[in-house]
Structure 1
């Protein structure tokens, strides 16, 4: 909202601010805010949710049926459950928050044990290796050994 306020202030300073233009700046500021607002990822025992700017999507991690990676440039992780739920998130979110990663990994293991997770075990293994490597590097960096 600071963007729209600044633009209205500049428009007012130039003498061209009218009510329709102020409304336009407010709408444009809201659109910029919606685009730049990062999704919020939360998890609990058996579920993972991603809240975007409009709505929240949730999957049951104990009943995952597919887990796959898409997007060569901006890598995204897509999770689907047996109840039709689907979420999409970046793997960096999981690497940055070990608790989220642990909850997702534990749920995926339960899904694999129950036989519902049939697609994506290789993606999960690669993601686990990537997160473990990043964690090890962070520990080495923090201890001054790198």
Structure 2
């Protein structure tokens, strides 16, 4: 693979379809229940449509991509990028869903789901190469532990996939 080539999250399209299906199913159920009770009006239909649209916005996945020395995330409108070779901080944010917050020396920040890196080894390799460069240059001040944990997880997932493919699981 050429170092200048851009790599993407391969499951992004499927995740978008799943978000649309979930919002569509909610809308259908709400309209069905409301219609079955005889209380469906145009106003309530618009309310249910707005609720389904809000669910779609909440579930819509960010499109993660990477190139040589950068990693980007595009939630809905604007892509945010960090220079992986200039990383100063990598933090693991816990909450309802785990997130990885990357910050570079230029002040740019990107928040991504670590599961995207697990599902897409090409993205992980780009991030890891840039982070190694930043650490060697003395820029990566915070986050070596988070990266080593993520690296161990990547190794476990890779080994599990090899055992599964070879029938040794």
TM-score above 0.5: yes
* Partner residue of 1:75 out of 90, 93, 98: 98
TM-score, normalised by the number of residues in structure 2? 0.75
Matches of 2:29 and 2:96 in 1, distance apart? 33
Q: Which runs of 5+ in 2 are unaligned?
A: 1-22
Matches within 5 A, 1:56-75: 56-71=79-94, 74-75=97-98
Matches within 5 A, 1:12-31: 12-31=35-54
Q: Which runs of 5+ in 1 are unaligned?
A: none
Q: Residue 12 and residue 55 in structure 1: after superposition, are their counterparts in 2 closer, same or farther (change >3 A)?
A: farther
Q: Alpha-carbon deviation of 1:106? A: 1.0
Aligned twin of 1:128: 151
Aligned twin of 1:110: 133
Matches of 1:46 and 1:34 in 2, distance apart? 30
Aligned twin of 1:39: 62
Matches of 1:54 and 1:5 in 2, distance apart? 27
Q: Alpha-carbon deviation of 1:90? A: 2.5
Higher relative contact order (CA 8 A, sep 6+): 2
Matches of 1:35 and 1:73 in 2, distance apart? 13
Equivalent position SS for 2:168: coil
Q: CA RMSD in A?
A: 2.1
1:93-127 deviations in Å (ceiling 9; x for gaps): 11111000001011111212332212112221221
Q: Alpha-carbon deviation of 1:4? A: 2.2
Matches of 1:11 and 1:57 in 2, distance apart? 41
- Equivalenced residues, count: 146
Aligned twin of 1:139: 162
